[in-house]
Structure 1
């Protein structure tokens, strides 16, 4: 029953986060993320059988035609730094959860939220300003060109 309630609450969170009024809703990026919400965490995981954080980001970006390095540390080394106030859906957001530098990554989806693979909840949506992640935020990188962003992260319908 607890697992079913978790799935329902994740679905409600996703529905509220990815509402039809959002430019991100029904985008290719959203369509790559939405089906894997709720997939369990698996260290080293890169498939729908289980993801670690960078396995999740690599999987989603591969679905939209971009290749990312495998680990959060190496993903942090690519792209262009973006100020938190300038984040756009599709930017990678990075955190220091281990006390030893970049150790967690997610995908900003807009509205102050990001999708990521959490060790405790699997693939989920979390607020950037949540008490846990706000104090561990390291920075963000934009890895998509403007034309790629328009093609995959914005819905013009």
Structure 2
């Protein structure tokens, strides 16, 4: 079985498991891994994005840093990168100090995007997934993908960092 097929099957299984735990009538969308990134970019970038998508639906938990307990924003980013052998600091402000500063125009899947949502400086982060989107641990819906520069996020954009070469 090809790696791409395995990832798709795993994502479908995770989505089915989540669906079975939701109340009847709940509305949700399945986030499918974008396996093409593994071919378009380095295999490490592909692994980061695939891991990020496989955690879609994991609930939010302040201070959380694992799939079993839930994630907050920086715990999610730290966990995803850690699964590929890349150690990142635990907090958003510490993560913002790692890697190379890049502009919005330079973003590639696997880069980190930072926002100022609650106070000065970087207070929230996620993983850029391409096509103007990012995947993150949100307080309302847990790990989801959203518009990185939509009306809410664009006015709060603080900066971006490249961790991967």
Normalising by the residue count of structure 1, what TM-score does the alignment of the two structures yield?
0.80
Structure 1: give runs of 5+ residues left out of the alignment: 146-157
C-alpha contact (below 8 Å) 1:46/1:55 kept by paired residues: yes
- 1:129 counterpart (121, 128, 149): 149
Per the alignment, residue 49 of structure 2 pairs with 30
Query: CA RMSD, aligned part only?
Result: 1.9
Aligned to 2:62: 43
Bigger Cα Rg: 2
Q: 1:69 aligns with which of 89, 98, 101?
A: 89
Q: Structure with the greater relative contact order (CA < 8 A, sep ≥ 6): 1 or 2?
A: 1
In the alignment of these two chains, the number of paired residues is 137
Q: State the Cα deviation string for residues 24-68 of structure 1 (Å, max 9, x = none).
A: 579312321122101111000001020000000000000111000
Q: 1:117, 1:123 within 8 Å by CA — same for their partners in 2? A: yes
CA distance in 2, matches of 1:3, 1:59: 31
The corresponding residue for 1:100 is: 120
Structure 2: gaps spanning 5 or more residues: 1-22
